[in-house]
Amino acid sequence: MNNFVPHPSPPRPDWEDPSVASASRGTRLRAVKHFAHFPDGLTLVSGERIAPLDIAYESFGTLTPQRDNAILIVHALTGDSHCAGVYHDTDPKAGWWDPLIGPGKAFDTNKYFIICANNLGGCQGTTGPSSINPATGRPYGLSFPVFTIRDIVNAQKLLLEHLGIHRLLCVSGGSMGGMITLEWAAAYPSWVSCIIPVSTSARLSPQGIAFSEVERQAIISDPKWNNGNYDPDDPPARGLAVARMIAHITYLSSESMQLKFGRRRRAGSAHSHFGDHFEIENYLHYQGARFVERFDANSYLYLTKAMDFYDLAEGCSSLEEGAARIKCKALFIAFRSDWLFPPRETAELVDALRALGRDVEYHEIESSYGHDAFLVEYPKYAYLIERFLERVYRFYNR
């Protein structure tokens, strides 16, 4: 039996003023998850409405009296609001961008106030397909409205307004989080002083969309999916695990798989025709098994589709026209071996922004880790973030 349970709408706690700094433990932060509750919900781009809406978020550092040092960190496809720190001293693992967030780190919590929210449609505290529909008392499932990257941005904007923040020093995220970062700058230019998109591009390639579709079909083909109406205690775990296995192949590179696994075989596997003969097979099965313990299958379907549909130039005659909506300073970071979001696609957007006269930095980092590099190669780009943020902060506070 799977341990995943749907997230009901949490009660609204007493909101803590964001100016109260999170406690730190040495150089590691103490993380606390908060919930913001919006009874009136959110009207989506489609015109449909999600109400009520709950958003899970975490925050670190101290907001200045001028409220001019807020940075929004945006997670990737299957991430969550736990971007840094630990909940308890015994936590074996800190938040997903912990090497970059904290006192003296790239996103320095001694200088900046950091907010990270679980994306709309997720399954880690923010309202999504696994949340309870108040009209039925059951999980939304496929009755949850289809949403877009812009809707995710609008939900985050609702949270920021709730926190009394009306301008961001920076928005930053990797992969799908990078797309959300771009949309923030394009949709609300007066809100954003700078952006740091990492391992991302203006749109997902046809190859990326193809992989997303195969991942979705793995879930939909699982008999337990039941057209999205599965038992939360008995979800389509096999299909979701296979979807994660496929996704992990796109996160790696041929070079990294060769270095990490090669063609090494597992001891004791020779007796089975179709067992985990190779270490790479064992790795993929392990990642799939771990994933189903923390993620909802329907959320995966909705979020991958939102990423597939995103196009910065949608409704425009060219990428340059779409990019023209971005007015702020930008630091783009890409990794040589990333074939899910190849550097050439990032560079295409950078060229469009530079042609428009925008203040843009671009760095292509040498790495063999593929798309996963933005979650691994911290020392190779942390100093770029630190330097860029310092320059932007000084520019707006001279």
Return the sign of the alpha-carbon dihedral for residues 33, 160, 79, 256. Answer: negative
Is 338 marked active-site? Answer: yes
Which amino acid does the sequence have at 7? H
Cα separation, 137 vs 229, whole angstroms: 13
Q: Catalytic pick from 22, 59, 131, 175?
A: 175
Is 54 marked active-site? Answer: no
Q: Cα-Cα-Cα-Cα dihedral of 338, 340, 345, 349, to 10°?
A: -100
237 within 8 A of 292, measured Cβ to Cβ: yes
- Count the neighbouring beta carbons within 10 Å of the beta carbon of residue 287: 15
Nearest to 356 by CA among 189, 125, 239: 189
Q: Catalytic pick from 34, 172, 371, 372?
A: 371
Cα separation, 137 vs 280, whole angstroms: 42
Cα separation, 367 vs 384, whole angstroms: 16
Cα separation, 331 vs 182, whole angstroms: 11
Is 296 marked active-site? Answer: no
Token readout for 45 is: 């781009």
Nearest to 202 by CA among 78, 361, 332: 332
- Grouping H, G, I as helix, E, B as strand and the rest as coil, residue 375 is helix
Cα separation, 177 vs 307, whole angstroms: 10
Beta bridge partners of 50: 42
64 within 8 A of 162, measured Cβ to Cβ: no
Cα separation, 232 vs 253, whole angstroms: 34
Nearest to 34 by CA among 52, 18, 49: 18
Q: Catalytic pick from 98, 108, 296, 338?
A: 338
Residues forming the active site: 175, 338, 371
